[in-house]
Amino acid sequence: MSVSETLTAGLKLPAIAAPMFLVSGPELVINTCKAGVVGTFPALNQRTSEGFEAWLLEIEAALQAFEAQTGEKPAPYGVNLIVHHSNPRVKEDLAICVKHRVPLVITSLGANREVVEAVHSYGGKVIHDVINLRHARKAAEAGVDGLIAVAAGAGGHAGTLSPFALVNEIREFFDGTLVLAGALSKGSDIAAAQLMGADLAYLGTRFINTRESRAGSEYQAMVNAAKAADIVYTPKISGVAANFLRESLARAGMLPENLDEKKHVDFGAELQAPEEGQKAWKDIWSAGQGVGSISDAPPVAELVARLRAEYCGAIEELESRSRCFRGGE
Ligand X SMILES: Cc1cc2nc3c(=O)[nH]c(=O)nc-3n(C[C@H](O)[C@H](O)[C@H](O)COP(=O)(O)O)c2cc1C
Give the binding site for ligand X (CB under 6 A).
Answer: 18-21, 23, 42, 80, 108, 129, 150, 154-156, 181-184, 202-205, 286-288, 290
**Within 10 Å of residue 71's Cβ, how many Cβ atoms?**
7
Closer of 39 and 155 to ligand X (Cβ): 155
The nearest distance, CB 146 to ligand X, in angstroms, is: 13
Nearest-CB residue for ligand X? 204
Closer of 36 and 159 to ligand X (Cβ): 159
Closer of 140 and 183 to ligand X (Cβ): 183
Residues 15/307, Cβ–Cβ less than 8 Å: yes
The nearest distance, CB 329 to ligand X, in angstroms, is: 38
CA–CA gap between residue 158 and residue 148 (Å, rounded): 11
CA–CA gap between residue 90 and residue 131 (Å, rounded): 22
Q: What is the largest CA-CA distance in the chain?
A: 65
The nearest distance, CB 114 to ligand X, in angstroms, is: 19
Residues 97/122, Cβ–Cβ less than 8 Å: no
Degrees (nearest 5) of the Cα angle 208, 309, 295?
A: 35
Closer of 53 and 129 to ligand X (Cβ): 129
The nearest distance, CB 281 to ligand X, in angstroms, is: 6
Closest CA to 159 of 230, 241, 232: 241
Give the bridge partners for 77, in sequence order: 39
Closer of 15 and 30 to ligand X (Cβ): 15
The nearest distance, CB 214 to ligand X, in angstroms, is: 10
